[in-house]
A and B are shown apart, each in its own frame.
Chain A
Amino acid sequence: MSTLLEVRDLVAEYAAAGGNVVHAVSGVSFEVREGETLGLVGESGCGKSTTGKAVMQMPRPTSGSVVFDGVELTELRGEELRRVRPRLQMIFQDPISSLNPRRRVHDIVGEPLEIWRVGSQPGREAKITEVMEAVGLDPAVTGRRLPHQFSGGQCQRISIARALVLDPTLLICDEPVSALDVSVQAQILNLLEDMKARYRLTMIFIAHDLAVVKNVSDRVAVMYLGKLCEVATPDALYAAPAHHYTAALLASVPVADPSVRPGLVPDALRGEPPSPLDPPSGCRFRTRCPRAEERCAAEEPLLREQSPGHLVACHFPLGPTE
């Protein structure tokens, strides 16, 4: 598989009140191979959504490189960037607020084709019908309706149809199911898997729910406070996490099985992530890490390969037997 997207040393910072700087993303590197789904998982404020948006160049990252299909996106200006954009599409968490409440579903789905003047009028109509049917909407019935006449799950289907209408290469999904009930969530996750196969998509799937991320991903990257802690295949990551943060996250997930005793969260994980205004020196997880030593404050652990395909940024990673 060739690399479709390569992100190097991505930094995204924002000015905050009082001359402070929010260090939202602080030097993140990863690649996404053609046809794979990379899951990006972490808690609120870890920078996962900012990373997704920085890949889209909306807004542009503070520094770093984003190479998409051989093209450096951060150097593109104006019309050049505009021409690449249809190949990268994004869907968002709140499907209702991401649709224009005054436009009919047919027009919402077809708008990208109009903007890009793709094909002839009959060609456009055929494409709209095709994607609407693909996401499970009946174009004849639903096309004339307005977004408020649909449930959250249906609105997410509309968002997906709109994202697919320009035949994108990369689809970035930012918490696409976290506003949905579990029964609807399953429908949308299955739909995304189907669309990925049908349209040969490459995906970045951003979410806070570890089980959801595992379900759709070929590789998973765990973020904490603006940095990647661990990248691995889902099976390796969930069976034998190497980073203490990944292990703590996994231990915190409530399991729908009464025989699993909850609450085995390591004491050290009491407390919450520090502020991205003033992140800790060295390893950013050290203030909550049960294994932290002086070295973790002095020296930042770099993301390195612990075993083939399993990257971890920790001076004292958990072994496979621990």
Chain B
Amino acid sequence: MFGRARGAGDLETEVVETEPGTARMATAEASAGPLLVVDDLHVGFPTERGLVRAVDGVSFRLEHGRTLGVVGESGSGKTVLSRGVMGLLPPGAVRTGSVRFEGREIADLAPDALRDVWGAEIAMVFQDPMTSLNPVVRIGRQITEGLRHHLGMGKAEARETAVALLRSVGIPEPERRLEQYPFELSGGMRQRVTIAIAISCGPKLLLADEPTTALDVTVQAQILNLLEDKQRERFMAMVLVTHDLGVVAGRADHVAVMYAGKVVETAPTAELFAEVRMPYTEALLKSIPRTTDPSHTRLAAVGGRPPDLVDLPAGCRFAPRCPYAQPRCVAEEPPLRTDTGSGHAWACWFPVGTPEGDDALARNVRAERPQTLAAQA
């Protein structure tokens, strides 16, 4: 685990040893090492206009049984990141960097070899259960397929296991459901089925990409609780990808905030919310309406929009929208760095809540620099 080259964007290397909570974990898992180590991952899509840099140098590691929340807005690269880890990219996508799962490099595995990893070792739950389930195949066969392929179960045993799985994800009358098609189930029930399929072969890692975005809020709470229960029962690690800071606040151990293809801030969840450093994270948190605020509270909107991923600015990618931005931010890209032992890292020259940050903000206020002009165009 120390032998590899350290990428510029390394998040938690060595940090594990200094944080009390994770140090214990690291000792317990010392023989096994981290479950997943992603190092300097890049994913690009060639287009007529040029290469779309959807993921641009992301590194992170995930220990067994832990949850990493990946938060970002549309186009931040969070979904491409999770698919890049899984190796589920469309033809033509350009991927570089390393993805090591239990010490084994899986980034360069051929699709045939990956098939033994998919489902058995790493499983995925997607946003829209209607399109991730096969509409013309009965629920039963969709669950037993993996059990028979990966675990070599016979027909009867697989069917029995499928019934138990459906029951464990809270689906009433599981025997009858096996005979049904996806369209006969509600959205919440369908998402329960995809979770049952995902956990059926006992994966060590679950990649959940916006698993509750298509669901109503009461059903969302049920599905998030279900994922948490299954994760605890099975000591399964999870990457929870979402646009909703509220979803990761209560569910993730560690959060990575993405912007324009990069991780711009990452920290243990409580620390991220308590001591925001990256102005983008602060802006996101401030722009959410909250049920605890009085009505007609003016929201702190971030003007403008994210940069074009084909033609990225030279400096910090958030600088054109950032209330703290200084000339240095436009000229020089800040690296993701840390100064604490807690695993909190940020990519900013003038971090929130530091003397440099306060100065930068005050300078901009004095100069009456409009926060952004981008809202106009």
Chain A contact residues, CB within 8 Å of chain B:
43-44, 136-138, 141-142, 151, 153, 181-187, 189-190, 193, 208-212, 214-218, 234-235, 238, 248-263, 265, 269-270, 272
B220 touches which one: A153, A190, A252 (CB < 8 A)?
A252
Question: Once the chains are docked, how many angstroms separate the CA of A272 from the CA of B224?
Answer: 15
B301 touching A183, Cβ below 8 Å = yes
Question: With A136-B375, A215-B297, A255-B250 known to touch, is A265 a contact of B221 (CB < 8 Å)?
Answer: yes
CB closest residue in chain B, given A211: B289
A181 touching B246, Cβ below 8 Å = no
B216 touches which one: A189, A208, A234, A261 (CB < 8 A)?
A208
Question: Once the chains are docked, how many angstroms separate the CA of A162 from the CA of B295?
Answer: 27
Question: Once the chains are docked, how many angstroms separate the CA of A263 from the CA of B297?
Answer: 27
CB closest residue in chain B, given A191: B301
B244 touching A185, Cβ below 8 Å = no
A185 touching B218, Cβ below 8 Å = no
A182 touching B246, Cβ below 8 Å = no
B270 touching A270, Cβ below 8 Å = no
Q: Which residues of chain A are near B289, meaning CB under 8 Å?
A: 186, 189, 209, 211-212, 214-215
Contact with A along B73-88 (1 / 0, CB 8 A): 1100000000000000
Question: Once the chains are docked, how many angstroms separate the CA of A238 from the CA of B289?
Answer: 14
Question: With A238-B291, A249-B218 known to touch, is A254 a contact of B250 (CB < 8 Å)?
Answer: yes
A218 touching B295, Cβ below 8 Å = yes
A190 touching B296, Cβ below 8 Å = no
A190 touching B298, Cβ below 8 Å = yes
Closest 7 CB pairs of A and B: A254-B246, A262-B250, A186-B301, A186-B299, A186-B287, A43-B216, A181-B73
A182 touches which one: B287, B295, B375 (CB < 8 A)?
B287
Question: With A190-B301, A254-B221 known to touch, is A138 a contact of B376 (CB < 8 Å)?
Answer: yes
- B331 adjacent to chain A (CB < 8 Å): no
- B303 adjacent to chain A (CB < 8 Å): yes
Chain B contact residues, CB within 8 Å of chain A:
73-74, 170, 186, 188-189, 216-222, 224-225, 228, 243-247, 249-251, 269-270, 273, 283-285, 287-303, 305, 375-377
B218 touches which one: A153, A248, A260, A262 (CB < 8 A)?
A248
A210 touching B217, Cβ below 8 Å = yes
Q: Which residues of chain B are near A218, meaning CB under 8 Å?
A: 295
Question: With A252-B220, A256-B273, A272-B219 known to touch, is A215 a contact of B296 (CB < 8 Å)?
Answer: yes
B295 touches which one: A181, A235, A254, A260 (CB < 8 A)?
A235
Question: Once the chains are docked, how many angstroms separate the CA of A112 from the CA of B238?
Answer: 51
Q: How far is the CB of A183 from chain B (nearest CB, A)?
A: 4
Q: Which residues of chain A are near B296, meaning CB under 8 Å?
A: 193, 215-216
Question: Once the chains are docked, how many angstroms separate the CA of A270 from the CA of B171?
Answer: 11
B287 touching A252, Cβ below 8 Å = no
Residue among B186, B249, B290, B295 having the largest count of chain A Cβ atoms under 10 Å: B295
Question: Once the chains are docked, how many angstroms separate the CA of A311 from the CA of B303?
Answer: 39
Q: How far is the CB of A141 from chain B (nearest CB, A)?
A: 6
Q: Which residues of chain A are near B284, meaning CB under 8 Å?
A: 182-183
A260 touching B250, Cβ below 8 Å = yes
CB closest residue in chain B, given A262: B250
Q: How far is the CB of B21 from chain A (nearest CB, A)?
A: 14
Q: Which residues of chain A are near B221, meaning CB under 8 Å?
A: 251-252, 254, 262-263, 265
B287 touching A256, Cβ below 8 Å = no
A272 touching B290, Cβ below 8 Å = no
B288 touching A182, Cβ below 8 Å = yes
Interface Cβ pair total, 8 Å cutoff = 151
Q: How far is the CB of A202 from chain B (nearest CB, A)?
A: 15
Q: How far is the CB of B60 from chain A (nearest CB, A)?
A: 19
Question: Once the chains are docked, how many angstroms separate the CA of A142 from the CA of B188?
Answer: 41
Q: Which residues of chain A are near B293, meaning CB under 8 Å?
A: 214-215
Q: Which residues of chain B are near A184, meaning CB under 8 Å?
A: 301, 305
B217 touching A183, Cβ below 8 Å = no
Q: Which residues of chain A are near B294, meaning CB under 8 Å?
A: 234-235
Question: Once the chains are docked, how many angstroms separate the CA of A137 from the CA of B376?
Answer: 6
B246 touches which one: A186, A234, A235, A255 (CB < 8 A)?
A255
Q: How far is the CB of A192 from chain B (nearest CB, A)?
A: 11
Q: How far is the CB of A98 from chain B (nearest CB, A)?
A: 19
Question: Once the chains are docked, how many angstroms separate the CA of A254 from the CA of B302?
Answer: 22
B222 touching A265, Cβ below 8 Å = yes
Q: How far is the CB of A42 from chain B (nearest CB, A)?
A: 9
Q: How far is the CB of A41 from chain B (nearest CB, A)?
A: 10
Question: With A189-B289, A211-B288 known to touch, is A254 a contact of B218 (CB < 8 Å)?
Answer: no
A217 touches which one: B186, B295, B301 (CB < 8 A)?
B295
B291 touching A269, Cβ below 8 Å = no
Question: Once the chains are docked, how many angstroms separate the CA of A314 from the CA of B123?
Answer: 44
Q: Which residues of chain B are near A265, meaning CB under 8 Å?
A: 218, 221-222, 225
Q: Which residues of chain A are near B246, meaning CB under 8 Å?
A: 253-256
Q: How far is the CB of A213 from chain B (nearest CB, A)?
A: 9
Q: How far is the CB of B142 from chain A (nearest CB, A)?
A: 21
Question: Once the chains are docked, how many angstroms separate the CA of A265 from the CA of B289?
Answer: 21
A254 touching B285, Cβ below 8 Å = no
Q: How far is the CB of A198 from chain B (nearest CB, A)?
A: 15
Q: How far is the CB of A208 from chain B (nearest CB, A)?
A: 7
Question: Once the chains are docked, how many angstroms separate the CA of A259 from the CA of B291?
Answer: 16
Question: Once the chains are docked, how many angstroms separate the CA of A256 from the CA of B289?
Answer: 10
Question: Once the chains are docked, how many angstroms separate the CA of A181 from the CA of B249?
Answer: 18
Q: Which residues of chain A are near B249, meaning CB under 8 Å?
A: 254-258, 260, 262
A189 touching B228, Cβ below 8 Å = no
A141 touching B218, Cβ below 8 Å = no
A263 touching B295, Cβ below 8 Å = no
Q: How far is the CB of A148 from chain B (nearest CB, A)?
A: 15
Known pairs A138-B376, A270-B170; list 7 more (Cβ under 8 Å).
Answer: A141-B377, A182-B73, A183-B284, A208-B216, A211-B289, A238-B292, A253-B217
List 17 contacting pairs A-B, 8 Å CB cutoff, sorted by A. A138-B377, A141-B376, A185-B287, A209-B217, A210-B217, A214-B291, A215-B295, A216-B296, A218-B295, A238-B292, A251-B221, A253-B246, A254-B220, A256-B290, A263-B228, A269-B222, A272-B186
Q: Which residues of chain A are near B245, meaning CB under 8 Å?
A: 182, 256
B287 touching A183, Cβ below 8 Å = yes
